[in-house]
Structure 1
Amino acid sequence: MALTGKQHCDTLDLIRALAAGAVCVSHLRNLMFVDYRSSAGIGLAGKAFYFVSNYGHTAVIVFFLLSGYFVGGSVLRQAEAGTWNWQRYLTERMSRLWIVLIPALLLTMFWDRMGIALAGGPFYLGTEGTFDQQINVASHLGAATLACNLAFLQTLACGTYGSNGPLWSLANEFWYYLWFPACFVLLRQRRGFGAFAAAAFALATMIAFPSLLSGFGLWLLGVVLVVLEKRFPARRARTGLPWFTLASGAVFVAALVCSRLFVWSNDWIVGVPCFIFLRCILWENVRLHPAPLSRIAIRFSGFSYSLYLTHFSFILFVAAVGFGQRIQFDARGALVLLGMLALCYVYAYAVYLLFERNTKRVQRSIQKFRFLRATPAQVAPHGGSRGSIG
């Protein structure tokens, strides 16, 4: 890692890309390979694989922190500049979420219906024994469930659509996107019917959806990163290694290991060390070096949202139709893992090229409508949302 004065933090891109990869690898392991207790004669490499390949849920915690930093930070900056408004914010957030969610739901329908028709059986009935797929997929492919997921009510009023279990966290993201600005605008303005109505709606939905509150606290830690960054700006000069980043990174890794060794299920045990690690990265102004590593991190981070939403149903289809049962993690299994991981990334990148890459273009097209067009005084650079799942 090297120090640079550029504003964009490619180190956070690397973290986001690794988190998306961790989710994909976790689902590959659970859907395609037998459980650790059923594995036969695996060596040290196999044991290491089973240990490090089960951090999918933890990776989502990292997503929440990064989302709070980027999305919540954009709200803070625009509000301070006097350019924030609900209309543009919701346009940007909803278009950002739906531009991948809609094709992902259609692709889920395609893979699931094809898989049920060609193979069916335990994988799609939820009886294969894998922790990640325990539902009858056919019962989750109805139009009502599709509409419910489009409205970001999965896990709250319905199940996730089809086999696409990772959609659970998208409901969290959506409601956090609404809750934070609703509360912040009220605290900032302290007047106006609109501000009180938005805050009342946020409070009512918080009471109605208590299962989302713990994740919202982690998301708010990402916003705290923005506040700390403003009050204690990044160091402009540094000699030697970024010791605070290295030390906090070691603590974060230790928390990850302990969460597996001692089966601690509290997300905050990992979330707080991750928050400290991210704070040190931002304070010490750590950037990636050499330049090719930076470009790779930015590239893979750019389509991590597409990867997150599209990989699960595709993996399940290949497992059910191509293999028929979960396999051992041996030399052949390692090749299957690498091949499937490559296929998932190619598939997600194709979805990115067709849809996610056009997010800004879609947003500009929407804003051309007169009722959404901002006045010149309202136009300001927006904080990116690279860190969020959506």
Structure 2
Amino acid sequence: MASPGKPHCDTLDLIRALAAGAVCVSHLRNLMFVDYRSSVSIGLAGKVFYFVSNYGHTAVIVFFLLSGYFVGGSVLRQLDAGTWSWQRYLTERLSRLWIVLVPALLLTLFWDRLGLELAGGPFYLGTEGTFDQQINVASHLGAATLACNLVFLQKLSCGTYGSNGPLWSLANEFWYYLWFPACAVLVRRRRGLGAFAMAAFAIGTMIAFPSLLSGFGLWLLGVVLAVLEKRVPAPSARSGLPWLTLASGAAFLAALVCTRFFLLDNDWIVGVPCFVFLRCVLRENVRLRPAALSRVAILFSGFSYSLYLTHFSFILFVAAVGFGRRIHFDADGVLVLAGMLVACYAYAFVVYLLFERNTRRVQQAIRQLQSGRTGADAPAARTGQGGTTS
């Protein structure tokens, strides 16, 4: 995720990996375990589990900030260096999204069709009572919905494909990827009909998709992180503890707790403290120790995208076919939770090895194809010009 010549921040890898884990745990809790009010004699450990296991949506806010920092920051660096190219940018972004999205959609179809055939019932009808699955899955498995999700219009012109509810945030990401550079190119360069056309398209789709604007504001906070990092770079060395990071981290955790205690659902209540925390991490150049922790963070961050897109339909299948009903969080429930977490991560890691790990290889192949096509077109153009003049 680090740009060339820019030190890799493994602390951000850890944050990203934890956010992906929070999404997975949240869906495990809601799909496989009864609601807190329906649980009986769960004890203190159970209460703690129910309290800390429902931060899936909050984790997506963290993803938006990190995405703005990395993707928006790379756009600004390319504009500053004069190397910006829409073709290269769209190739990188779309290949990055599709290389996992396409197999994830096919896997969703596989698990959902198999689950409908073997079990069906309340889990797939959306009547089990879980907040995370309230649709008739069979009605969301058509070709039109599949195509709609492939072009990132889920929750805008159609539902998410099958049972894979987490796909909603991918539409947000895609449109943020378009909106920001369209406006940034116009502001930085201020020339060309193409720049004005792209900016007009961005503004038009912002008006058409107002539900995405709040998340875009949070995404732009991530871009602000990149701007501040450039203007006020981190010191090469630091003596003592990173007090600003520790204090801002405590404030961020306090915001997380407050959202649960007081049922606050405004994303900015968490987004702003998270922004401050990430800024302090970057400003104080916080890195992970020992080295083993750094390697683990980088590893789990590496396939967090695969985990995000593949876990939901798999969990729903196991809940419907393997259990048939939601269970209580007791001693057996702890074993189920641990086993399902291992299964979800192993499953996602296989998807990563097969697809996500090859992202750069695919991007390089596309660039070679594009450059070869450009090279082939150039002689043809020259030949055509010669024939005309002769």
- Name the TM-score class by shorter chain: over 0.9
Partners in 1 of 2:70 and 2:372 — Cα distance?
23
Q: CA deviation at 1:370?
A: 3.6
Q: TM-score, normalised by structure 1?
A: 0.94
Largest Rg, 1 or 2:
2
State the distance in 1 between where 2:10 and 2:364 align.
Answer: 25
Give the C-alpha shift of residue 170 in structure 1. 0.1
* Maintained 8 Å contact 1:87/1:372: no
What per-residue deviation string (whole Å, max 9, x for no partner) do you get for residues 178-228 of structure 1?
Answer: 000000000011121000000000000000000000000000000000110
Q: Give the Cα–Cα distance (whole angstroms) in 1 for the partners of residues 112 and 181 of structure 2.
A: 37
Structure 1 letter corresponding to 2:111: W
Correspondences of 1:296-335 after superposition (within 5 Å)? 296-335=296-335
Q: Where does residue 358 of structure 1 map in the other structure?
A: 358
The alpha-carbon deviation at position 45 of structure 1 amounts to: 0.3
What amino acid sits opposite 2:199 in the alignment?
A
Match of 2:160 in 1: 160
For the residues of structure 1 that align with 2:286 and 2:237, how far apart are their CA atoms? Answer: 11
Amino acid at match of 1:59: A
Aligned residue number for residue 197 of structure 1: 197
Q: Could you say if the C-alpha distance between residues 30 and 372 of structure 1 is closer, same or farther in structure 2, counting changes exceeding 3 Å?
A: farther
For residues 108 and 347 of structure 1, what CA distance do their matches in structure 2 show? 13
Map 1:78-227 → 2, pairs under 5 A: 78-227=78-227
Tell whether the 8 Å contact from 1:252 to 1:274 is kept in structure 2 after alignment.
yes
1:274 maps to 274
Residue identity matched to 1:21: G
Q: Which residue of 2 aligns with 1:388?
A: none
**Matched residue SS, 1:369:** helix
Higher normalized contact order (CA 8 Å, seq sep 6+, divided by chain length): 1
Q: Distance in 2 between matches of 1:184 and 1:372?
A: 30
User: Where in structure 1 are there 5+ consecutive unaligned residues?
Assistant: 376-390
- Please give the TM-score of this superposition, normalised by the length of structure 2: 0.94
**Alignment match, 1:21:** 21
Q: Tell me by how many angstroms 1:6 deviates.
A: 7.8
Aligned-pair identity in percent equals 83
Is the contact made by 1:186 and 1:196 (CA closer than 8 Å) also made in structure 2?
A: yes
More helix by proportion, 1 or 2?
2
Q: How many Å separate the matches in 1 of 2:81 and 2:374?
A: 14
Structure 2: stretches of 5+ with no match in the other structure: 376-390
Moved over 3 A (4+): 370-375
Partners of 1:188 and 1:70 lie apart in 2 by 19
CA distance in 1 between counterparts of 2:121 and 2:360 reads 42
CA contact (8 A) 1:20 1:308 kept: yes
Aligned residues of 1:100 and 1:306 also touching (Cα < 8 A): yes
Report if aligned partners of 1:366, 1:372 keep a CA contact under 8 Å in 2: no
**CA spacing shift, 1:240–1:6, aligned 2, 3 Å:** farther
CA distance in 2 between partners of 1:191 and 1:233 (Å): 31
Q: 1:315 offset after TM fit, Å?
A: 0.1
DSSP 3-state at the match of 2:57: helix
Partner Cα separation in structure 1 for residue 6 and residue 340 of structure 2 = 36
Distance apart, 1:157 and its partner CA: 0.1
CA-based RMSD of the aligned residues comes to 1.3
1:372 deviates by 7.8
**Whole-Å Cα distance in 1 between the matches of residues 264 and 33 of structure 2?**
24
Opposite residue 350 of structure 1, the aligned amino acid is V
